Amino acid sequence: MVDLQGYDFSSHLHLFHIKGYDMLLDVNSGSIHVLDEQARSFIQELIKADGNWSVAHKEFAAHYDREMGNEVQRELEQAYHEGSMFSLPEDLLSFNYGHAVPKSICLNIAHICNMRCRYCFAEQGSFGQAREIMSQDVARRAVDFLITASGERNNLELDFFGGEPLLNFDVVKETVAYGRERAAVAGKRFNFTLTTNALNLDEEKRNYLIDEGIAIIMSLDGRPEVNDRMRIHPEGAGTYHDIVSRIREMVAMQPVSYFVRGTFTAENLDFSRDFLHLCELGFENISLEPVTGGEPGIALEEEHLFQIMAEYEELAEIIWAREQDNKPVNFFHFNLELNRGPCLPKRITGCGAGIEYLAVTPGGDIYPCHQFIGQSEFKMGNVAEQGLDQSIKDRFAWNTVPHKGCLQCWARFYCGGGCHAAAFFANGDLSKPYQMACAMHKKRLEAAFYLAAKRIGG
């Protein structure tokens, strides 16, 4: 009999019910199981009994056949021997960033914007800083910085971000050419992405992005009235009709990779309708993200969580129905890599901000990530010099799952300890995860597990 006395069930197992399924995540192995009623009930008794099998059997037998309990136990023990049940944690403190080096930058190529989105964390593109665009010189230095700083790493990433990057399109083109040239000499490879509001995504730019194989992320919030309440022109009119045709034209050209990305706020808590709208427009790669911060009325509050949870379930249902209908759609946040996901060290170190991932302002200043731009205590350096502020690096390198009080949370290997920036802006402390984000993340995981169960079992 497997000895479970002292096993920390609440940290190592996650038992949950979603839409008619009883499911169990074995946290440390990443295994996921679908349970029938007897298995669910037996496991509940086992947890209540602190791993004492005889007590669990006794309680179970009050409702079910004793033999049924034996069957469940046999299966649990078999799964245990396969490594997919009651697994134990590894020594997470022994994992760290290892030899991690910067390999990915968010290049804020323009701190100006041609929209005035009401929820913009970049304060209409400027991040509270001067409205400027990046010069070719700074962009080149950023590329050089990354090539040198990335040492042995071969796969480099560069995202053109802003503000609105298409407002500095010549520098985008120059930087791509320069990056490719420098990477070839260094034996490395650049993956370019560009995040745009699509307002200036005209034919010339679309052709360019296709020819260069640049992955593209285009913002659109969903239904016209929802988009137009938030994503507006400087003079206040909505942008939906200007951008939707451009995005559709771009998608029709089949970019190497694309996402249509929307934001939901307290004003569209029924965001599954927006998701549906984006599906109906023919988009197959969609991301809808909770707004970060925002003025009262827009910001997400705890009282909204109940509805948000229900909407995520609804989203899973829509996705499932479309799959049945042979019209699959890829929702970024349910798109878990369940079998070929990252290794444990990567999972516990999280997003890599400040270590592997950096953001660069038009003036060349370096911050741990796009969300920290303009926070002077987080300025790490400038692309004109090699080297980064060691004490800031250390703060981020330390801020991993085992150091953040996340060791009891079942979601710890999927969220990587959560967003540093959300923790900092919500709680004034990098290491205090923002609980709203945690709750939403957990729900998205459950929905993704549920979809996995549906796909396998129908």
Binding site for ligand SF4 (CB under 6 A): 351, 353, 357, 369, 371, 401, 404, 406, 409, 411-412, 415, 417-421, 433, 438, 441-442
φ/ψ region of 62 (left if φ > 0, alpha if ψ in -120 to 50, else beta) reads alpha
| CB of 299 or CB of 318, closer to ligand SF4 | 299
Helices of type H across 237-382: 240-252, 271-280, 305-324, 344-349
Q: Min. distance of Cβ 451 from another protein in angstroms?
A: 11
Tell me what percent of the chain is helix, strand and coil, each rounded to the nearest 5. 45, 15, 40
Beta bridge partners of residue 360, listed in sequence order: 107, 366
Burial class (CB in 10 A: 0-12, 13-18, 19+), 242: middle
173-212 footprint of another protein as x/- string (CB under 8 A):
------------------x-x-x-----------------
- Here the tokens at position 183 are 């990477």
Helices and strands (H and E) in the chain: how many? 16, 13
- Here the tokens at position 101 are 């080096």
Q: Which amino acid is at 339?
A: N
Contacts of the segment 273-278: beta carbons below 8 A, 24+ positions apart: 273/222, 273/223, 274/221, 274/222, 274/223, 274/226, 275/222, 275/315, 275/318, 275/331, 276/318, 277/222, 277/223, 278/220, 278/222
Q: Min. distance of Cβ 37 from another protein in angstroms?
A: 5
State the binding partner of 412 from another protein, ligand SF4, none, CB within 5 to 8 A by kind. Answer: ligand SF4
Distance of CA 8 to the CA centre of its chain: 28
Q: Which of residues 90-129 bind another protein (CB under 8 A)?
A: 90, 95, 98-101, 103-104, 106
Q: Which of residues 36-55 bind another protein (CB under 8 A)?
A: 36-39, 42
Q: Min. distance of Cβ 11 from ligand SF4 in angstroms?
A: 11
| CB of 214 or CB of 358, closer to ligand SF4 | 358
Q: Which of residues 407-426 bind another protein (CB under 8 A)?
A: 413-420, 422
Contact between 341 and another protein by CB under 8 A: the answer reads yes
| CB of 57 or CB of 261, closer to ligand SF4 | 261
Contact between 298 and another protein by CB under 8 A: the answer reads no
Helix or strand (DSSP H, E) at 174: helix 169-186
Tell which one of 76, 115, 250, 300 touches another protein (CB under 8 A). 76
| CB of 109 or CB of 415, closer to ligand SF4 | 415
Q: Min. distance of Cβ 413 from ligand SF4 in angstroms?
A: 8
State the binding partner of 95 from another protein, ligand SF4, none, CB within 5 to 8 A by kind. Answer: another protein
Tell which one of 12, 182, 246, 441 touches another protein (CB under 8 A). 441
| CB of 84 or CB of 135, closer to another protein | 84
